[in-house]
Amino acid sequence: MQKLTGVLCASAFTTLCACSTTPKAPALNLLLTDDYSRVTQYLQQYIPERMDEHDITGLSVALVDDQRVVWSEGFGFADADAEVPATAATQYRAGSVSKLFTALAVMQLKEQQRLTLDAPLVDSLPSFSIRSRFGSTDDITLRNVLSHHSGIPDSLMDGMFTTEPAPYTYVTEQMGQYFTAAPPNTVFGYSNIAYTLAGHAVEHTSNTPFTEYMHTQILEPLGMMNSNFRYDTTGDAMSKSYIGGKEVEELPLRDLPAGGLISTVGDLSQLLKWVIANKPHVESNEVTSKIDGVKNTDKTQLSNVEASLITPNTLQEMLAIQSYETPYTPDPFNGLGWFHFSGMLDNKYAVIGHGGQTMAHNALVAVAPDAKLGVVLMANGPSGGLHEIADEILSNAYPVATRQSLDDVPKRQAEPTPLPGEPTDFNGQYTSVFGHINITGDSDGHELQVAGDSLDLSPNDTGSHTIRAKILGFIKIKIPGLSELSLFAREVDGKKVLYGRNRAGRNNLIATEMETEVRNPVWHDRMGVYQLINPVDTDIKSFQFGKVELVYEDGAYHVVIQDNDGRHKQPIRLINDNEAVIQGYGRGRGETIFAGADGSMLHTGWVFRKVPDENAQGDL
C-alpha cells in the first residue's frame, strides 16, 4: 500500500511543474464530421503517453459503435524481450471482468427456471455452508452474491495464486470453517469467494463442469472463440506479464469463476455488442442520430451475436441497480455483475461495465447502451489508468457516433440521496478500507491522520468538507480523486459514520467509528510480531507482507503492517479468547481472525506465526 500523500502529491507536482506533452484532442467541429480517423490519430498519441505514465508495457484496445468494432489496435509489447508487439488479437487475463460472464450464466439458468435468485444459496449449492454471528445463513442468496451484498468474506488467499492450484471447488469445501463478515443485504462487500461459489452453483445446477458450461453456453454463442476459462497462462497469443517494465511470472489463479477468463479485446467486444443489441433501459438519454443519420429501433436485427443467451428483460434485471435500504449502502451502484460507473461521459449517460486485475494483468469493459458506445481495454501490467483512458476514448468517440456534442445533452443527475442519520462533528477515531483514521479539530478545520499521513479537512461551500494534502507541513493542495469528494460526518445508530459524495452526487460509505475496549489478558499475551508462513511464491511486492504486529493502541487492538511505504494499522474487535473481527463495514471488514492453540493466527487462509521475542510485553 503506497502512502497517500507521497503518491498523490507527486502526481500533483507532476501536473503543476512538468512541461506537458499531452496531445490536444481534436476540435468538436472536426469530430462532428469525422469518420473516426481523427479520433484514432489522437488516441494513437494519447494512449502511449498514459502507458508511460502508468508503466504499462503492452495494451490493446477496441472501440465499439453499435454493432461495429470501429477501431482496434495494440500498443507496446506483448513480449518485450522478443519484441512481439501487442495487437488486438493478443490474449490477456481478464481478471474480475470474468464475473460478468459467471453472472450471465447464473441468469441464464434462472431464466430456464433451473435455479432461483432469491432462494437460499444452499438450494443451488447444497455443499455450501458458512458460520454466522448474524442469525440464519438462509438470507445468503444468488441475488446478493451477484451484487456483493451477501456478507461472504472477500478472498481465500491461501492457494489463490499458485503454480499448481486446487480445483476452484476447494473454496466451497473450506467455507464451513469461516464466518460471514456482515449480515446479508446490509453493506457492499466485494467478494471473490462469493463469485467462486456462484460458479460452483452453475456447475451443480447444470450438471456440467463450469469451464465446459461457460464455453458451450456463454462464450461460444457470443462468438468469443479466442476466450476460455482456464488455470494456465500459456499459448502463442498470450501476453507476458510486467510490473514497472520488468517481466514477472503470472501464477495460475484457482478461483476461475471470479477471475479466470482469458480473452482478447476483440472477443470482449462481442459482449458489448450483444448488450447494445438487446438494449436495456439504464436511465440515460436516448441517442437519436448516427453517422448514417438513421435512428435504429430494431437493434436485434443488427447484431452478429446470437441473442439466445438471455432475453432483454432478463438482461434488464441484470443491469438494474440492486437497492438495499441500509445506512451502509447509501447509494447502491451495481446490478447483478455489472457496475454503474461514475464520471464517464460527463455523467450524461449511464456507463456500465467491470474492471479486472490479476497479479500483473489489467482489464476494463465499459459500455453506454443508450449512447450505443463501448470500449474494451486490456493490459499486461497492474498499474491502472484504464478508467481514465476509457473515458477519453468514449468522450472523443461520442460526437463522431452521434453527430452531436456531449455539451448539448441534458444532465440526467438527480438530487443527491439524503444521507442517513443526523449531522455530527468529525472528531474521533474511525476504521476504514484505508485503515485507522484519527480526526481532530474545530469548526475552522480538522486534521485527518491515516497511514502515517496528515491531511487537511476544511469546510467548503457545499456545507461539507474537502480533503487536501499538506506539502512541507503548511501548503495545502488538492488531492486527485479525494479532493473531488465532499465529506460528511453523520450519527447513525449511535455511532459516527463518514460518507463521501462525489461530483456526480453519489454517496459512498468511507469510515465508521472505531470501537474501543479494555485490554484482554489472553490477547495481551499474543501481542508481538508475526510472520506469514504460507506466502504466495512470487517476488511481486503487492503480494508480500512486511512486518505484521498485533498491538494495543488508541484504546483498541490493531493488526499493523509495516513496510517500505509506512505503518498501516487496522482496528479489530475481540469476540472471545480465540476470535476477533476486523472492525468496520465494506470489503475486507468484518472478517474473522482466528487464534490457534499453537500460537498461530488465521485470516482468510493466511496463516501467521508469532516470532519469538526475548523482550516481555509487560504487565497489563
pLDDT given for residue 24 in this prediction:
87
Share of the chain above pLDDT 70, in %: 87
**Are both 432 and 399 inside the same structural domain?**
no
**Are both 558 and 489 inside the same structural domain?**
no
Q: Give the phi and the psi of residue 30 in degrees, each rounded to 5.
A: -75, -40
All three cell numbers of 232, joined, read 494456465
Q: Check whether 235 has a pLDDT greater than 60.
A: yes
All three cell numbers of 177, joined, read 470453517
187-211 pLDDT tens trace: 999 999 999 999 999 999 999 999 9
Confidence of residue 595 (pLDDT cuts 50, 70, 90): very high
**Are both 443 and 579 inside the same structural domain?**
no
Number of independent structural domains in the chain? 3
Do 607 and 159 form a contact (C-beta atoms < 8 A)? no
Tell me, yes or no, whether 478 lies in a domain.
yes
pLDDT given for residue 462 in this prediction:
74
More confident residue, 219 or 480: 219
Do 582 and 590 form a contact (C-beta atoms < 8 A)? yes
State the SS3 of 587-617.
CCCCCEEEECCCCEEEECCEEEEECCCCCCC
Identify the burial level of 328 via C-beta atoms within 10 angstroms of its C-beta, where 0-12 means exposed, 13-18 middle and 19 or more buried: buried
Collapse the DSSP code of 131 into the 3-class scheme (helix H, G, I; strand E, B; otherwise coil) and give the result: strand
Nearest to 272 by CA among 312, 230, 298, 303: 303
**Are both 341 and 305 inside the same structural domain?**
yes
pLDDT given for residue 343 in this prediction:
87
More confident residue, 284 or 326: 326
Please provide the average confidence, as pLDDT, over all residues in the chain.
87
Confidence of residue 282 (pLDDT cuts 50, 70, 90): low
**Are both 317 and 448 inside the same structural domain?**
no
| Least trusted range by pLDDT, from 285-299, 473-487, 586-600 | 285-299
pLDDT given for residue 293 in this prediction:
31
pLDDT given for residue 36 in this prediction:
93
Q: Give the phi and the psi of residue 178 in degrees, each rounded to 5.
A: -105, 165
More confident residue, 292 or 432: 432
List the domain range (segments joined by +) for residue 588: 521-610
Tell me, yes or no, whether 475 lies in a domain.
yes
Do 382 and 365 form a contact (C-beta atoms < 8 A)? no
Q: Check whether 9 has a pLDDT greater than 90.
A: no
Do 393 and 63 form a contact (C-beta atoms < 8 A)? yes
pLDDT given for residue 565 in this prediction:
67
pLDDT given for residue 473 in this prediction:
41
Handedness of CA 580, 582, 584, 588 (dihedral sign): negative
Tell me, yes or no, whether 163 lies in a domain.
no
Do 127 and 105 form a contact (C-beta atoms < 8 A)? no
Ramachandran assignment for 387, one of left (phi > 0), alpha (psi -120 to 50 degrees), beta (any other): alpha
Q: Check whether 19 has a pLDDT greater than 90.
A: no
Mean pLDDT of 50-67: 96
Q: Check whether 5 has a pLDDT greater than 50.
A: no
Q: Check whether 594 has a pLDDT greater than 50.
A: yes
pLDDT given for residue 13 in this prediction:
35
pLDDT given for residue 10 in this prediction:
38
Collapse the DSSP code of 496 into the 3-class scheme (helix H, G, I; strand E, B; otherwise coil) and give the result: strand
Nearest to 218 by CA among 140, 330, 106, 52: 106
Domain of 539, CATH number, reads 2.40.128
DSSP 166: P
100-136 pLDDT tens trace: 999 999 999 999 999 999 999 999 999 999 999 999 9
**Are both 532 and 606 inside the same structural domain?**
yes
**Are both 499 and 536 inside the same structural domain?**
no
**Are both 372 and 291 inside the same structural domain?**
yes
Q: Check whether 524 has a pLDDT greater than 80.
A: yes
Query: To which H or E segment does residue 399 belong?
Result: helix 386-402
Collapse the DSSP code of 87 into the 3-class scheme (helix H, G, I; strand E, B; otherwise coil) and give the result: coil
pLDDT given for residue 538 in this prediction:
83
Tell me, yes or no, whether 501 lies in a domain.
yes
Single out the residue in 381, 408, 435 at which a domain terminates: 408
Mean pLDDT of 514-531: 95
pLDDT given for residue 167 in this prediction:
96
pLDDT given for residue 614 in this prediction:
52
Tell me, yes or no, whether 167 lies in a domain.
no
**Are both 268 and 379 inside the same structural domain?**
yes
| Least trusted range by pLDDT, from 146-160, 281-295, 484-498 | 281-295
All three cell numbers of 611, joined, read 516470532
Q: Check whether 475 has a pLDDT greater than 60.
A: no
**Are both 527 and 503 inside the same structural domain?**
no
pLDDT given for residue 21 in this prediction:
61
Rounded Cα distance, 557 and 40, in Å: 54
Q: Check whether 472 has a pLDDT greater than 90.
A: no
Q: With a threshold of 0.85, does the pTM exceed it?
A: yes
pLDDT given for residue 209 in this prediction:
98
**Are both 586 and 450 inside the same structural domain?**
no
Domain of 401, CATH number, reads 3.40.710.10
pLDDT given for residue 458 in this prediction:
86
Tell me, yes or no, whether 124 lies in a domain.
no
Ramachandran assignment for 55, one of left (phi > 0), alpha (psi -120 to 50 degrees), beta (any other): left
**Are both 308 and 361 inside the same structural domain?**
yes
Rounded Cα distance, 562 and 568, in Å: 6
Nearest to 52 by CA among 90, 23, 87: 23
Confidence of residue 431 (pLDDT cuts 50, 70, 90): very high
pLDDT given for residue 28 in this prediction:
84
All three cell numbers of 109, joined, read 439458468
Rounded Cα distance, 344 and 273, in Å: 19
More confident residue, 119 or 4: 119
Nearest to 317 by CA among 103, 35, 45, 86: 103
Beta bridge partners of 364: 355, 377
* Maximum pairwise Cα distance, the chain: 80
pLDDT given for residue 382 in this prediction:
82
pLDDT given for residue 114 in this prediction:
97
Single out the residue in 408, 442, 473 at which a domain terminates: 408
Tell me, yes or no, whether 197 lies in a domain.
no
Tell me, yes or no, whether 248 lies in a domain.
yes
DSSP E strands, 451-599: 453-459, 465-471, 475-478, 486-492, 495-501, 507-513, 528-532, 547-553, 556-563, 566-574, 579-582, 592-595
For cell 438450494, name the residue. 123
Rounded Cα distance, 24 and 136, in Å: 58
